[in-house]
Amino acid sequence: MMKQQTLFQGKLTKQKDLFIPFIVAGDPHPDKTIQYALRLQEAGADVLELGVPYSDPLADGPVIQKAARRALDAGMSLRKAVEMVPELRKAGLNIPVVIFTYYNPVLQYGHEAFIDALEENGVEGLLIPDLPLEESEDLNERTKEKDIELISLVAPTSEERIKRIAEQARGFLYCVSSLGVTGERKEMAPETLSFIEKVKEHSSVPVAVGFGISSNDQVQLMRKHADGFIIGSKIVKLIESSLEVEKSGDEQEGLRHFSDEVNELVQA
């Protein structure tokens, strides 16, 4: 596999066994987001997917929908999420950050201004779940110019599209484990593994699998078969339960609880 020059601007320390957690910026508060991000880094996260809350998140299941609602109610926006990145850095986050956002907020921001803002704020990656290859030309160019990785996705339905998508993938290739929106899956479908194989054949970047990964068993399976795994809804749920713990104890206890649970989830 020929590697690209700027894999997350050199911040990606390995290309296998990548742990890529997803959190919603501002859920339930911007300050908390920084805390959780640091704990995830401590727990071995290799990339942070920082989700921007959206009113109509049509690729997301109920857990992330609710988190987005909480974050919106707390006043989060695309602009604020991007501007949170320097604060994350200041607090000690070193791993690459991928901004996850639906397309409409980007469009309102304006492509040029948005990409400039990503650059200024030191964002290494961008993932837009409702912007397929066919609609991404302009942003693809613009991100390339600024060494920002525009993450592509492949899905079980992609079939002949896999090759086309994989060949131009940057950063990592997001492999959607199965049909459906984000959210836990009890089991991974057996087809998932052969699907991953196929994707890997065509990809020049690490292949990370996401959608539904929610148990250590599944993590183990992905460690074996893919180059990385993305965990979203489950992490959001762990945040929810850490907030519960916080209620009956103090903040540190909540965060400790969060770290413990994350460690247990991703342990090798």
* DSSP H/E element including 229: strand 228-231
Respond yes or no: is residue 138 known to be catalytic.
no
Q: Are the C-beta atoms of 142 and 177 separated by less than 8 Å?
A: no
Distance CA 260, CA 244 (A): 15
Specify the residue, 40 or 71, whose C-beta has the smaller distance to another protein: 71
Q: Which position among 49, 124, 227, 261 bears the catalytic label? A: 49
Distance CA 36, CA 96 (A): 15
Tokens matching residue 190: 């057996």
User: CB of 241: closest distance to another protein in angstroms?
Assistant: 21
DSSP 234: H
User: CB of 41: closest distance to another protein in angstroms?
Assistant: 28
Q: Which position among 17, 31, 56, 60 bears the catalytic label? A: 60
Specify the residue, 11 or 161, whose C-beta has the smaller distance to another protein: 161
Respond yes or no: is residue 49 known to be catalytic.
yes
Specify the residue, 49 or 261, whose C-beta has the smaller distance to another protein: 49
User: Which strands make up the sheet holding 228-231, listed edge to edge?
Assistant: 149-150, 125-127, 97-100, 48-51, 18-24, 228-231, 207-210, 173-176, 152-154
User: CB of 32: closest distance to another protein in angstroms?
Assistant: 20
Instruction: Label the pairing between strands 207-210 and 173-176.
Output: parallel
- Give the binding site for another protein (CB under 8 A): 54-62, 65, 72, 77-79, 102-109, 129-135, 152-159, 161, 165, 176, 179-181
Specify the residue, 112 or 253, whose C-beta has the smaller distance to another protein: 112
User: CB of 135: closest distance to another protein in angstroms?
Assistant: 5
Catalytic residues: 49, 60
